[in-house]
């Protein structure tokens, strides 16, 4: 029985390893190709750089110069940071209200937020784009507002789950100690929500930083364009001619911040997801 | 100095659909330790929460120190509350938990430190001041919760089942600590519990509640010796009082209580009241500890019953005997050196002086006040 168990476990490990390889392959391919010459990227995309194919940081410099990198990086950074801060603050307050004030209105509100999670973006993108232009939301501040809407569903759902596990008595103790609702939220509730807030922040940051379609539709390829749009635009020449080396280098630079952010905060993701399920 | 007065206070939920407290009038004296006790859902916690200001009052008036507080927010009522789940702020250290209310009041830092250290010393939690609540045991957390209340130096201490989450040994310890604390602080304590032992051991006076109404408000001794009705009689005392269907008869001008094939003469001091019950059914109340065994001295003038022990529990110095009388299970707690086995027949004696007589219709004690 024991040997069968360890054989089964071994098989699971092999399977998991294969899945991990499949998931990591695109990133590794981008990374190794970003260091190779353009010609070799097409002829042997899956080999590591050799003395002959290695071009150092040439692709990075080229891409940096061609793609208006700094400006779009700043745009992406502003949109991501502002949206994430907005989402975390607003949705945690909303979830607190929904959980603590139990009435018909809050119940409907909660189900609307949950429902918004299952509506595919493609279904609403045309009307959304139309309204974004109509209400002059086609700028970095406007898209932050739009992201707040799209990010609210999952975030409210996650915060609500966690807030339900916070004993109400803690808030009552704060009331007796002299806190009003605003102070109770910011000095008592929000610090308790920290693990969930970090999880919500990570999930939203990854999505917003990497998002291509929404910024492309709303901000277009003008001066407000975000990094994914900028990389795609700048490095696409006429007649489908692409500078693959520079493209790979830019992709590495584009995903680097979010990977660093993720690695920095990843321990909180697991903690945040579990925290809602088990009473703290 | 703090008195609390409820004047015809009512509390209902869901726009008056559910009434928890129909009409409550109660006066708690200054420096008194009052325990609100009753079964779950009797309204004791709601009453406490109304004092705290955590629940609105549907109608009536609530006074603290003769000041109407119906519309005064909790923070301005000069109260402190200790919750069942401790309700400590999990992200703050013990020190910060205790200092929080004072900090909000903009108390000088030095004064905060003095007060926190004073409370920590009394409660013996000085070594834990820099720890977070999750690194403390249940008893330590409860002491921190008490400390948090103490530093505010409130007029009224409100405690909502503070010992329910602790194990039996710790509960006994904390019980003594809270009683000592009350003596030291000399403030009004209002304490909610469903545990009658806590109520009996700690209170100056006990409010026994049922369905939002006060059944009796008196000292522990009075509640035990002179319960107002069957509810109070059954609630106070452990194991609970036995209620036996009986009848009052008059034989040759003397009153007798007849029940389950046994009878005894009504004590002289109780004859006058029970006269109006001649040939009527009453409920006879006998506390388990008032049954006697043959080993407990002279029982010649006591009423003898022969019962079959269904279950016998040796409790050390005493033995609990469960027996059946007219289809109802009763319990006697007797002192005997003999081991009584299940199914064994044994003699029990009742001292008529210790018997209670309840009106069968109203369930009121026939001797109770009023």
Nearest to B5 by CA among B27, B35, B32, B33: B27
> Do residues A144 and A208 touch, judged by C-beta distance below 8 A?
no
**Contacting residues of B for A167, CB less than 8 Å apart:** 85, 87
**Contacting residues of A for B79, CB less than 8 Å apart:** 176
pLDDT at residue number B38 = 92
Q: Average pLDDT of B201-210?
A: 94
* Pairing of β B156-160 and β B188-193: parallel
Is the Cβ of A129 closer than 8 Å to some Cβ of chain B?
no
pLDDT at residue number A99 = 95
Residue carrying the six token digits 């199914």: B343
C-alpha A176: how far from chain center: 39
Shortest Cα distance, chain B CAs vs residue A99, angstroms: 18
Does B137 have pLDDT greater than 60?
A: yes
Residues 143-182 of A with CB under 8 A from B: 167, 169-170, 172-179
The DSSP secondary-structure symbol of A240 reads G
Give the one of B73, B83, B91 whose C-beta lies nearest to A169's C-beta.
Answer: B83
Coil, helix or strand for A182?
A: helix
What is the rounded end-to-end Cα distance, in angstroms, of chain B? Answer: 32
pLDDT at residue number B260 = 82
pLDDT at residue number A40 = 77
Inter-chain contact A176–B80, Cβ cutoff 8 Å? yes
> Do residues B309 and B346 touch, judged by C-beta distance below 8 A?
yes
Coil, helix or strand for B17?
A: coil
Domains, in order of start, for chain A: 2-57 (no CATH), 60-277 (1.10.3720.10)
**Contacting residues of B for A177, CB less than 8 Å apart:** 75, 100-101, 104, 152
> Do residues B342 and B312 touch, judged by C-beta distance below 8 A?
yes
C-alpha B4: how far from chain center: 19
Domains B4-235 and B242-359 share a fold: no
> Do residues B321 and B332 touch, judged by C-beta distance below 8 A?
yes
Confidence label for B100 from pLDDT (cuts 50, 70 and 90) = very high
**Contacting residues of A for B90, CB less than 8 Å apart:** 170, 192, 280
pLDDT at residue number B123 = 87
Is the Cβ of B13 closer than 8 Å to some Cβ of chain A?
no
Mean pLDDT taken over chain A: 86
Does B316 have pLDDT greater than 90?
A: no
Is the Cβ of B90 closer than 8 Å to some Cβ of chain A?
yes
**Contacting residues of A for B88, CB less than 8 Å apart:** 170, 173
- Give the whole-number percent of chain A exceeding pLDDT 70: 92
Mutant choice from B72, B89, B192 vs A, greatest count of A C-beta within 10 A:
B89
Does A279 have pLDDT greater than 50?
A: no
pLDDT at residue number B368 = 54
pLDDT at residue number B305 = 87
Inter-chain contact B100–A192, Cβ cutoff 8 Å? no
C-alpha A108: how far from chain center: 27
Inter-chain contact B80–A174, Cβ cutoff 8 Å? no
Mean pLDDT taken over chain B: 90
B233-281 pLDDT, tens per residue? 999 988 899 999 999 998 888 889 998 878 888 888 888 888 888 899 9
B-chain residue closest to A177, CA distance: B101
Confidence label for A273 from pLDDT (cuts 50, 70 and 90) = low
B287 φ/ψ angles, rounded to the nearest 5 degrees: -75, 140
Residues 152-181 of B with CB under 8 A from A: 152
pLDDT at residue number B233 = 94
Structure tokens at B302: 């006591």
Does B283 have pLDDT greater than 80?
A: yes
**Domain limits of chain B?**
4-235, 242-359
pLDDT at residue number A276 = 42
Give the one of B74, B84, B88 whose C-beta lies nearest to A176's C-beta.
Answer: B74
Give the one of B54, B87, B101 whose C-beta lies nearest to A178's C-beta.
Answer: B101
Structure tokens at A133: 């232009």
Give the one of A173, A179, A280 whose C-beta lies nearest to B104's C-beta.
Answer: A179
Q: Average pLDDT of A166-171?
A: 92
**Contacting residues of A for B103, CB less than 8 Å apart:** none
The CA distance from B241 to B284, in Å, is 10
pLDDT at residue number B369 = 38
Mutant choice from B64, B75, B135 vs A, greatest count of A C-beta within 10 A:
B75
Confidence label for B367 from pLDDT (cuts 50, 70 and 90) = confident
Q: Average pLDDT of B299-304?
A: 80
**Contacting residues of B for A173, CB less than 8 Å apart:** 81, 83, 87-89, 148
Does A21 have pLDDT greater than 50?
A: yes
Residue carrying the six token digits 């002192």: B335
What's the fold here for domain B4-235? Answer: Rossmann fold (3.40.50)
A-chain residue closest to B72, CA distance: A176
* Helices (H) then strands (E): counts for chain B: 9, 20
Does A52 have pLDDT greater than 80?
A: no
Counting one residue from chain A and one from chain B, the pairs whose CB atoms sit within 8 A come to 54
Q: Characterize B296-328 residue by residue with b for buried, 16 or more Cβ atoms within 10 angstroms of its Cβ, and e for exposed.
A: eeebeebbebebebeebeeeeebbbbbbebeee
Does A23 have pLDDT greater than 90?
A: yes
pLDDT at residue number A272 = 53
pLDDT at residue number A70 = 86
Inter-chain contact A175–B74, Cβ cutoff 8 Å? yes
The CA distance from B153 to A143, in Å, is 52
A-chain residue closest to B101, CA distance: A177
Give the one of A176, A183, A280 whose C-beta lies nearest to B90's C-beta.
Answer: A280
**Contacting residues of B for A179, CB less than 8 Å apart:** 75, 104
pLDDT at residue number B370 = 39
**Of the ranges A43-52, A85-94, A225-234, B320-329, which one carries the lowest mean pLDDT score?**
A43-52
Does A59 have pLDDT greater than 90?
A: no
pLDDT at residue number A256 = 87
Inter-chain contact A194–B85, Cβ cutoff 8 Å? no
Mutant choice from A167, A171, A176, A194 vs B, greatest count of B C-beta within 10 A:
A176
Does A194 have pLDDT greater than 80?
A: yes
B31-81 pLDDT, tens per residue? 999 999 999 989 999 999 999 999 999 999 999 999 999 999 998 999 999
Shortest Cα distance, chain B CAs vs residue A166, angstroms: 10
pLDDT at residue number A220 = 85
Q: Characterize A54-86 residue by residue with b for buried, 16 or more Cβ atoms within 10 angstroms of its Cβ, and e for exposed.
A: ebeebbbebbbebbbbeebbebbebbbebbbeb
The answer for residues whose C-beta is within 8 angstroms of residue A152's C-beta and 6 or more apart is A87, A90, A91, A94, A113, A116
Q: Could you tell me where the DSSP H helices lie in chain A?
A: 2-33, 38-43, 58-66, 69-100, 104-118, 121-134, 140-163, 168-177, 181-183, 190-192, 194-210, 213-218, 227-234, 244-277
**Of the ranges A66-70, B67-71, B283-287, B303-307, which one carries the lowest mean pLDDT score?**
A66-70
Coil, helix or strand for B162?
A: coil
Give the one of B75, B88, B90 whose C-beta lies nearest to A178's C-beta.
Answer: B75
pLDDT at residue number A14 = 95
Is the Cβ of A10 closer than 8 Å to some Cβ of chain B?
no
B-chain residue closest to A174, CA distance: B101
**Contacting residues of B for A183, CB less than 8 Å apart:** 104
Give the one of B73, B87, B100 whose C-beta lies nearest to A169's C-beta.
Answer: B87
pLDDT at residue number A269 = 65
B-chain residue closest to A180, CA distance: B75
A96-154 pLDDT, tens per residue? 999 999 899 999 999 999 999 998 888 999 999 999 999 999 899 999 999 999 999 99
**Of the ranges A236-250, A257-271, B275-289, which one carries the lowest mean pLDDT score?**
A236-250
- When the candidates are 2.40.50.140, 2.160.10.10, 3.40.50.2300, 1.20.1440.130, the CATH number that belongs to B242-359 is 2.40.50.140
Is the Cβ of A104 closer than 8 Å to some Cβ of chain B?
no
């Amino acid at each position: 029985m024991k040997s069968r168990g360890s054989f089964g476990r071994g098989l699971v490990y092999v399977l998991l390893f294969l899945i991990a390889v499949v998931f990591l392959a695109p990133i590794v391919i981008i990374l190794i190709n970003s260091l190779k010459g353009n010609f070799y990227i097409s002829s042997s995309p899956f080999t590591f750089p050799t003395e002959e194919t290695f071009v150092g940081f040439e692709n990075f410099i080229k891409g940096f110069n061609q793609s208006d990198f700094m400006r779009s990086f700043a745009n992406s950074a502003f949109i991501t940071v502002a949206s994430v801060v907005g989402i975390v603050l607003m949705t945690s307050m909303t979830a607190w209200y929904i959980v603590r004030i139990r009435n018909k209105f809050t119940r409907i509100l909660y189900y609307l937020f949950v429902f918004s999670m299952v509506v595919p973006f493609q279904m609403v993108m045309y009307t959304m784009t139309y309204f974004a232009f109509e209400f002059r939301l086609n700028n970095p501040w406007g898209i932050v507002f739009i992201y707040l809407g799209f990010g609210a569903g999952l975030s409210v759902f996650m915060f609500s789950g966690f807030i339900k596990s916070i004993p109400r008595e803690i808030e009552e103790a704060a009331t007796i100690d002299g806190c009003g609702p605003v102070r109770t939220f910011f000095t008592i509730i929000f610090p308790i929500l920290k693990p969930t807030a970090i999880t919500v922040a990570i999930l939203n940051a990854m999505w917003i930083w990497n998002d291509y379609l929404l910024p492309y539709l709303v901000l277009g390829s003008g001066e407000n364009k975000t990094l994914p749009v900028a990389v795609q635009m700048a490095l696409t020449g006429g007649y489908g001619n692409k500078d693959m080396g520079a493209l790979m280098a830019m992709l590495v630079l584009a995903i680097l911040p979010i990977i660093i952010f993720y690695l920095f905060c990843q321990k909180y993701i697991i903690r945040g997801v579990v925290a809602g399920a088990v009473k703290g | 100095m703090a008195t609390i007065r409820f004047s015809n206070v009512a509390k209902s939920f869901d726009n008056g659909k559910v009434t928890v407290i129909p009409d409550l009038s109660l006066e708690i004296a200054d420096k008194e330790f009052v325990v609100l006790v009753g079964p779950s859902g009797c309204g004791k916690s709601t009453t406490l929460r109304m004092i705290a200001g955590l629940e609105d009052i549907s109608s009536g008036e609530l006074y603290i120190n003769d000041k109407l507080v119906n519309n005064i927010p909790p923070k301005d009522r000069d109260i402190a509350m200790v919750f069942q789940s401790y309700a400590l702020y999990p992200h703050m250290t013990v020190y910060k938990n205790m200092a929080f209310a004072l900090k909000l009041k903009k108390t000088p830092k030095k004064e905060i430190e003095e007060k926190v250290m004073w409370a920590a010393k009394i409660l013996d939690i000085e070594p834990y001041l820099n720890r977070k609540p999750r690194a403390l045991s249940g008893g330590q957390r409860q002491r921190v919760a008490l400390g948090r209340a103490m530093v505010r130096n409130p007029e009224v201490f409100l405690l909502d089942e503070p010992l329910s989450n602790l194990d039996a040994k710790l509960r006994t310890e904390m019980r003594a600590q809270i009683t000592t604390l009350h003596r030291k602080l000399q403030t009004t304590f209002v304490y909610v519990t469903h545990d009658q032992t806590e109520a009996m051991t700690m209170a100056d006076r006990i409010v026994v509640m049922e369905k939002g109404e006060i059944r009796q408000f008196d000292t522990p001794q009075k509640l035990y010796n002179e319960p107002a009705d069957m509810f109070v009689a059954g609630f106070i005392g452990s194991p609970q009082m036995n209620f036996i269907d009986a009848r009052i008869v008059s034989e040759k001008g003397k009153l007798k209580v007849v029940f389950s094939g046994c009878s005894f003469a009504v004590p002289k001091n109780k004859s006058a009241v029970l006269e109006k019950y001649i040939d009527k059914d009453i409920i006879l109340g006998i506390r388990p500890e008032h049954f006697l065994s043959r080993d407990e001295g002279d029982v010649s003038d006591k009423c003898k019953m022969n019962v079959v022990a269904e279950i016998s529990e040796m409790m050390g110095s005493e033995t609990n005997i469960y027996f059946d009388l007219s289809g109802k299970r009763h319990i006697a707690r007797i002192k005997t050196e003999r081991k009584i086995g299940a199914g064994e027949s044994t003699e029990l004696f009742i001292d008529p002086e210790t018997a209670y007589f309840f009106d069968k219709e109203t369930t009121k004690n026939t001797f109770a006040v009023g």
